[in-house]
Amino acid sequence: MLTLTDIQAAALRLHDHLLDTPCVVSKTLSQITGAEVFLKFENLQYTASFKERGACNKLAQLSGAERQRGVIAMSAGNHAQGVAYHAQRLGLRAVIVMPRFTPGVKIERTRGFGAEVLLQGDTLEESRAHALGLAEQEGLVFVHPYDDDAIIAGQGTVALEMLHAVPELDTLVVAVGGGGLIAGMATAARAIKPGIEIVGVQTSRFPAMINAIKGTHHPQGSSTIAEGIAVGTPGVIPQAIIARLVDDLVLVDEGDIEQALVMLLEIEKTLVEGAGAAGLAALLKYPARFKGKKVGLVLCGGNIDPLLLAAIIERGMVRAGRLARIRVSARDVPGSLAQITATVAGAGANIDEVHHQRAFTMLSAQNVDIELVIQTRGREHITQVLKVLRAAGFQAEEQQ
C-alpha cells in the first residue's frame, strides 16, 4: 500500500530534476468564485505538465538491466513527454504509442525529446494494447501513465509542495482521468492533514472513475477538449485509493472547461490545456459547494493545440458578449452598407465580418439581410448597438 514515506522518497529523487512550482493565491478568481483560490502552476514544468513527476520517479528506480532494455509508454501527450524527456536525460531508449487524435503540438514535442513516436489506435485503450504488445515483442519496460505505485508516488509530490507552501489549505480540487494524480495527492494530503477535503473532477464526456466509484451509469462520449483526462477505464490502483481517501467526485461540461480556460488566460495570464482548467471549472459550476473555503487547484498541464485554443478563445468571447453576430435588414441600394457601418462605428463597436444575404431570406427582392460579426464591450454594449441601428431606421436583431 502506498504511503506518505513513498511520496517523500519520491520527492528526494525528483529534487533538482523538476520545478517546485509556485502555489499562490488568485485574488480575482477568489472574488469571482467566493472561495479563496490558490493555484499550483504545474503548467510551468519543463514539459508543461505534472506528468513528468511520476515518469522521473519511475525511471530513476529502474535496474541496470531494465535501463539497457529501454522503456515504452502509451499516452495522449503529457505522460509521453514526461517519459521521453527523462528517458533522454538518463540515456534510455523510449518508444511512445499515442492515439491518432493526439494534438500535433504534443506529438512534435515528444519527438523533440528523442522518443520514437507511433500513432496507433483511436482511444487510449487501443494504444495501450498496442504498447503492451510491443513491450513483450521487444523486451521494453512498460511505463503505465497511472496504474503504477512509482508513478502515483511521483504525482503525490504535488500535494507535498502545496501543503508546504500553503499549510492552511482545507480543500484540494484535482482533475481526474486514470486517477494517478489525485491518488498520489490524496495519499500525501490525508497523511499530512487528515481533515482536508479532496474533490476530484471529471469531464462529463469521460466519467469512468465516477461511474466506478459511485456506481452510476453516465454515458461515455467520444471526444473532449480535456483529452488529458479522456480515460475510458480507471486505474485499478488509483481507484482503490480514491474510494478510500477522496471525499467526492464531480462532473463538469465542455462549456465549463472552456470558460475556465479563457478566464485563466485572461485573468491569470497563464495558458492551460482542457484538463488543466477542470478544477476551476468545478468551482465555477458549483460555487456554493466551495464558498468560503481555502481551495487549492492544480493547473496540471499547459499543452494545448494552438488551433483549438483559438477556437476556445473565440467561443469564450461570444459567451461573454465581446463578439456578437447581428442581422440588419435594409434596402438593397448604394450607400446602405456605408450607413450601417457608420452607425455601428458611431456606437463604438468594431466590425469583424460582413455578409450580404440576398437569396436565403424572406425579405422582398428589393431588400437585403446584412449579417455583421462585431466586437463589443459586452452584453449591454450589444443592446446599445441594436438600439442605435433601430433609431437609424434599420431592422436589427442579434443572431444566436
48-77: pLDDT as tens digits: 999 999 999 999 999 999 999 999 999 877
Burial environment of residue 116 by CB neighbours within 10 A (0 to 12, 13 to 18, 19 or more): middle
Checking if the pLDDT of 261 tops 80, the result is yes
**Do 100 and 180 share a domain, yes or no?**
no
**Do the bridges between strand 367-375 and strand 350-357 make them parallel or antiparallel, or are there none, so unpaired?**
antiparallel
37 and 174 belong to one structural domain? yes
Identify the domain containing residue 391 by its residue range: 321-399
| Identity of the residue numbered 41 | F
The tally of domains found in the chain comes to: 3
Alpha-helix runs per DSSP H in the chain: 4-14, 27-33, 51-60, 64-69, 78-90, 104-112, 124-138, 149-165, 180-192, 208-214, 236-245, 254-267, 278-285, 287-290, 306-319, 336-346, 379-391
56 plus 44 within the same structural domain: no
- Average of pLDDT values for 156-169? 98
Q: Which CATH number fits the domain that encloses residue 390? A: 3.30.70.260
pLDDT score of 128 more than 80: yes
Same domain, 120 and 239: no
- Distance from C-alpha of 37 to C-alpha of 336, rounded to nearest angstrom: 51
**Residue that is last in its domain, among 263, 289, 316:** 316
Q: What is the DSSP annotation of 321-387?
A: TSEEEEEEEEE-STTHHHHHHHHHHHTT-EEEEEEEESSS--S-TTEEEEEEEEE-SSHHHHHHHHH
> Over the Cα atoms of the chain, what is R_g?
25
Q: Is the pLDDT of residue 365 over 90?
A: no
Neighbours of 247 (CB within 10 A): 14
Beta strand pairing call for 23-25 and 36-40: antiparallel
- Per-residue pLDDT tens digits for 179-216: 999 999 999 999 999 999 999 999 999 999 999 999 99
Distance separating alpha carbons of residues 124 and 80, to the nearest angstrom: 12
**Pair 275, 153 in one domain:** yes
What is the predicted pLDDT for the residue at 51? 96
Residue at a domain's end among 84, 113, 142: 142
Residues 105 and 234 in one domain: no
CA quadruple 236, 239, 241, 244: dihedral sign:
negative
> Could you tell me if 381 and 364 lie in one domain?
yes
Q: Tell me: pLDDT of 104 over 90.
A: no
Q: State residue 359's pLDDT score.
A: 67
Torsion (CA) 95, 98, 100, 105 in degrees, nearest 10:
-100
Cα–Cα distance between 31 and 292 in angstroms, integer? Answer: 10
- Per-residue pLDDT band for 332 (boundaries 50, 70, 90) equals confident
**CA of 25: how far to CAs of 2, 144, 268, 386, in Å?**
30, 33, 11, 40
- 298-315 exposure pattern, b = at least 16 Cβ within 10 A, e = fewer: bbbbbbbbeebbeebeeb
Is the pTM higher than 0.85? The answer reads yes
* β-bridge mates for residue 39, sequence order: 24, 297
200 three-state secondary structure: strand
In angstroms, the CA 221 to CA 288 distance is: 28
Residue 234 belongs to a domain with what CATH number? 3.40.50.1100
Bigger pLDDT: 304 or 366? Answer: 304
| pLDDT tens, position by position, 106-117 | 788 899 999 999
Q: Do 190 and 284 reside in the same domain of the chain?
A: yes
- CB-based contact 41:62 (threshold 8 Å): no
What is the average pLDDT across 148-177?
A: 98
Last residue of a domain, one of 122, 142, 162: 142
Buried b (16+ CB within 10 A) or exposed e, 373-390: bbebeeeebbebbbebbe
For residue 203, give every residue at least 6 positions away whose Cβ sits within 8 Å of its Cβ, in sequence order, or none.
Answer: 224, 226, 229, 230, 251, 252, 253, 254, 257, 274, 278
Helix (H, G, I), strand (E, B) or coil at 295: strand
pLDDT at 240: 98
Tell me: do 378 and 285 sit in the same domain: no
DSSP conformation class of 43: G
- Is 163 in the same domain as 279? yes
pLDDT band at 124 (very low <50, low <70, confident <90, very high): confident
Same domain? For 250 and 364 the reply is no
Specify the pLDDT at position 223.
Answer: 87
Residue 175's φ and ψ, nearest 5 degrees, are -65, 145
Q: Please tell me whether residues 207 and 236 are part of one structural domain.
A: yes
Lowest-confidence region among 82-91, 330-339, 347-356: 330-339
Query: What is the percent of the chain where pLDDT is above 70?
Result: 98
